[in-house]
Structure 1
Amino acid sequence: MTSSLQALLPSTERALLHRIAVAQTEGRAPSLVGGVVREGETVWFGARSCVDGHAPDADTQYRIGSITKVFTAVLVMRLRDEGLLGLEDPLEKHLQGTGVGEVTIAQLLGHSSGLGAEAPSPWWERTPGTLRPELADVLGERPMVHPVGRVHHYSNPGYTLLGSLVEAVRGVSWEEALRTEILEPLGMTRTTLQPVAPHAGGWAVHPWADVMMPEPAEDLGLMAPAGQLWSTVGDLCRFAGFLAQGDDRVLARASVEEMRVPAAPSAAADPESGYGLGLQLVRKDGRTLIGHTGSLPGFVATLWVSVEDGLAAVALANATSGPLVGLVAADLVRIVAEAEPRVPEPWRPLPEAEVDQELLALTGPWYWGTYAFGLRVGAARGVTLEPLRGVGRRAAFRALPEGGWIGLDGYYQGETLRVVRRPDGTVSHLDLGSFVFTREPYEQGDAVPGGVDEAGWRGL
């Protein structure tokens, strides 16, 4: 049930149903299901099926393929947050004997490790995992196809290594860690390694005729952390809410936000997409979507979240190819965002306890050379620095316990902003990664690197 505040308009619901109906028909999928989340609450579900009267519901399992990788990445981030490993640690520090131990955990998460895209023959998605009982069988004789850390190259074996890393550090199976640390806290009772009824069967649809053939559903063994899971629209909508807001029972919001930051350069052929720490990042219809796509023989799946819109969408189908569920999920987000744009929260002043007079005194205009910027104070003593006209380097900053601020985005991400005071305690200037911001442009006596011309400003 949805609250009256969250319920969608009938016209919006019809547009959503029309979108998945078109996708099921044009994509020639035996069935296709979709769901929409708004502000953390599932507000719509729709389904289309080739069997009259037997449309799947939000509790019907589909195989979700590489969406599994997001779960594996969350388990790794939990280990990082507990201090059991560092993202810049070489794999060898925690998982010995792989032969590729020089790659870092961050490089594995972001697919910049240099590892190959697939395991050696035979095709791992259509053969039992018992054919690859050891990591050496997954990696093969030539595991590296690119220099370490140089390019983004999607790697399924890389996530096999991360699953084995979780087991080595946690001391339990990847499956047990997944169940106790993510699925149970989030109430995802219908997400499993093996299919549990009701579930869809996977089908291959002939590309030139309206006939079908069942696809095998293999247990992937060691490759499971890269693509094993079965899930439902209902469960994935819960997971989407977690990816939007974080959940301290699973992973803090700040760590989920860290996963969304691009970890490696985008491929030149696709400048509108990128990859964070286990999350795909795309630009579509003027908005940023985070999440993941997935496919295994017989199934395609997508989960997209638009944090800015407070929306997420899931699309699942049981066909090897045909339905473009990545576009479908993006369209479900777009339809709701355009028809029912997010209503902003009311403006409210800061709580009295957060009002800092010294910080208020720093607000207003500052000058980097002759460029004018404005400093604005936000919640939790955070600040933003933005150009007062034209384009420029805008950034938000988070307050540091020891004083000063750390950049959160843009050019100044990771850079430190600090207040520099004179011997008498008055403010001299702001220092941002060595850039000096003064209250006046090139004022005599200010701490401007290189000094100020003694004659001052003049006409022609």
Structure 2
Amino acid sequence: MTSPAEQLLPSTQRALLHRIAIAQAEGRSPSLAAAVQRSGQAVWNGSRTCVDGHAPDSDTQFRIGSLTKTFTAVLVLRLRDEGLLDLGDPLEKYLPGTGAGDATIHQLLGHSAGLAAESPAPWWERTPGSLRPGLADVLGEQGRMHAPGRRHHYSNPGYTLLGSLIEAVRGASWAEVLRTEILEPLGMHRTSPQAQAPHAGGWAVHPWADVMLPEPAEDLGLMAPAGQLWSTTADLLRFAVFLAEGDDRVLAAASVAEMRAPAAPTEPGDWDGHYGLGLQVVRRRGRTLIGHTGSLPGFVAALWISIEDDVAAVAFANATSGVPVGEVAAELVGIVAEAEPRIPDPWRPLPEVDDELLALTGPWYWGTRTNILRLTPDRGFELQPLNGQGRGARFTARRDGTWIGLDGYYAGEILRVVRNDDGSVNHLDLGSFVLTREPYDPAAAVPGGVDEDGWRGLGS
């Protein structure tokens, strides 16, 4: 077993190479490039090609298609964090006259605005963006496919609207805002709206014969925020670090984490994933992965990150179809995580003791149910049922001396300490629920009161 700072074992590296070799051969792709990152450091790069001596490397651009949407979503969240908009606002407030202005920004980010999946003909991915000079040409007359907010329905025009929203609020082009607010701060100098050498060419491979046809690489115009970008495995691994940890130069960790939360109901029977705000979240072999897949004619791409394992993987192929890069990238994460499990950081005691917080830890009772309150290193708390079943949550401290729930049933709920006149603790109040040191403590302010005769047996 290796430590996170070391390179992968030779056996792990061979397993990764074996996986992409199978993908390239069976998927019949002209080339395939992949890379893996652990603890924020690239630990493996691999590629396969049908052209001797021309295998792509970590600096070779491929088109990443709908992975572009994650970048667009980050730009919208930046506007929200700056107080320039609210995700619950209707689009009409900032971009009037689109015909879809009653959709909220949150619905557009999570593909629940009910808009069509594609723009009207001609096929937008294989034709110049100049054929769609205005938003009316992108949206067409199709109207709504579904009632807003009712279901997830993936929409490329929806992200076109978000790109135009960014331009309207910032007063600059989507590409310029992207460059100055994400790409430059994160050092992603090989990610761009237009291809920059060295880059792969896009190909279609005949389904029934081993022959190829070059695919056009069109400038998507207004549709660019939905799928325009080109990038490299090295650059997307930099982006993966940001999506895992946040970066205050771009977007705080709390806002990046918000992107992972389900934004809309999933399709019936789909229990293996959801869509957040510009991020896909999937379950693969018991592992939660965040990221996005993408495709445009001639290219497929995928980026997956396992926060728990601290492993990320990128996979590209320059073929319109054939290589399941989403599955390949997920399996690359799994190969590393399972062959060389993450070694946890050493346990360390807190640097200092806060006696007042320490006194709050231990058992607390909601009625007769036992809960354990544990102090976390950030002066927050974690509340969990003693038997591990039921409502639990993490809480972070607020300046007013209370704590707010971060997840679970109590997400957003306030935990406060209620004290007696002498300063001693009477009970904890959690969203009006009273938690006491003893089950129905008669000395605590339990709603409904506590029977003065106390606990009794069957014959009492």
* TM-score between both structures, scaled by the size of structure 1: 0.97
Q: Which residue of structure 2 lines up, in the alignment, with residue 318 of structure 1?
A: 318
Distance 2:359 2:246 in 1: 34
Matches within 5 A, 1:103-122: 103-122=103-122
- Corresponding residue number in structure 2 for 1:413: 411
Greater Cα offset, 402-411 or 164-173: 402-411
Q: What is the letter of the counterpart of residue 43 of structure 1?
A: V
How far off is 1:287 after superposition? Answer: 1.5
Counterparts of 1:57 and 1:45 in 2: how far apart (Å)?
8
For 1:444, the equivalent position in structure 2 comes to 442
1:184-206 residue CA offsets vs partner (Å, 9 max, x unmatched): 11111111111111111111111
Give the aligned residue type for 1:48: R
Give the whole-Å Cα distance in 1 for the aligned partners of 2:292 and 2:423. 51
Paired residues for 1:399-410 under 5 Å: 399-410=397-408
Q: What's the CA shift for 1:4?
A: 8.6
Number of aligned residues: 456
CA distance in 1, matches of 2:4, 2:114: 50
**% identical equivalent positions:** 74
The answer to whether the aligner puts 1:33 opposite 2:39 as a matched pair is no
Secondary structure of the corresponding residue to residue 185 of structure 1:
coil
Q: Is the 8 A contact 1:63 1:296 kept in 2?
A: yes
Q: CA deviation at 1:422?
A: 2.4
Aligned to 2:302: 302
Shift, 1:256, TM fit: 0.9
Q: Could you tell me how far 1:386 is from its partner in structure 2?
A: 0.6
1:73 equivalent in structure 2: 73
Match of 2:211 in 1: 211
| Conserved? CA contact 2:4–2:39, under 8 Å | no
Residue 396 of structure 2 is matched in structure 1 by 398
Structure 1: runs of 5+ lacking an equivalent: none
Q: Which amino acid is 2:62 matched to? A: Y
CA distance in 1 between counterparts of 2:106 and 2:221 reads: 24
Residue 396 of structure 1 and its aligned partner are, at CA, apart by: 0.5
1:391-412 deviation per Cα after TM superposition (whole angstroms, max 9, x unaligned): 1222111111112111111111
Q: Which residue of 2 aligns with 1:423?
A: 421
* Structure 1 contact 293–303 (Cα < 8 Å) conserved: yes
Name the SS of the counterpart of 2:159 in structure 1. Answer: helix
Determine the structure 1 residue equivalent to 2:374. Answer: 376
Counterparts of 1:186-197 in structure 2, within 5 Å, are: 186-197=186-197
Q: Within 5 A, what are the aligned runs for 1:128-277?
A: 128-277=128-277
2:365 corresponds in structure 1 to 367
What is the DSSP-based 3-state SS (H/G/I as helix, E as strand, rest coil) of the residue aligned with 2:282?
strand
The letter for the 1-side match of 2:192 is T
User: Take 2:192 and 2:29, find their aligned partners in 1: how far apart are those partners?
Assistant: 23
Q: Cα offset for 1:94?
A: 1.3
1:124-144 alpha-carbon deviations (Å, 9 max, x no partner): 111111111000111111231
The amino acid across from 2:245 in the alignment is: Q
Distance 1:267 1:4, change over 3 A: closer
- Contact 1:120–1:137 (CA<8 Å) still a contact in 2? yes
Aligned-pair distance for 1:219? 0.8
For the Cα contact (< 8 Å) 1:160–1:226, is it kept in 2? Answer: yes
Check the 8 A contact 1:6/1:38 in 2, yes or no. Answer: no
Q: 1:44 aligns to what?
A: 44
Alpha-carbon offset, residue 390 of structure 1 = 4.0
User: What displacement does 1:321 show?
Assistant: 0.9
Q: 1:230-282 CA distances to partner (integer Å, 9 max, x unpaired)? A: 11111111111111111121111111111111111222232111011111111
Partner SS for 2:283: strand
Q: Which amino acid aligns with 1:104?
A: T
In 2: Cα distance, 1:417 partner to 1:285 partner:
36
Q: Kindly state the Cα deviation for residue 90 of structure 1 after the two structures are TM-superposed.
A: 1.3
Distance 1:12 1:385 in 2: 39
What is the Cα deviation at residue 180 of structure 1?
Answer: 0.9
Q: Detail structure 1 runs of 4+ shifted over 6 Å in the superposition.
A: none
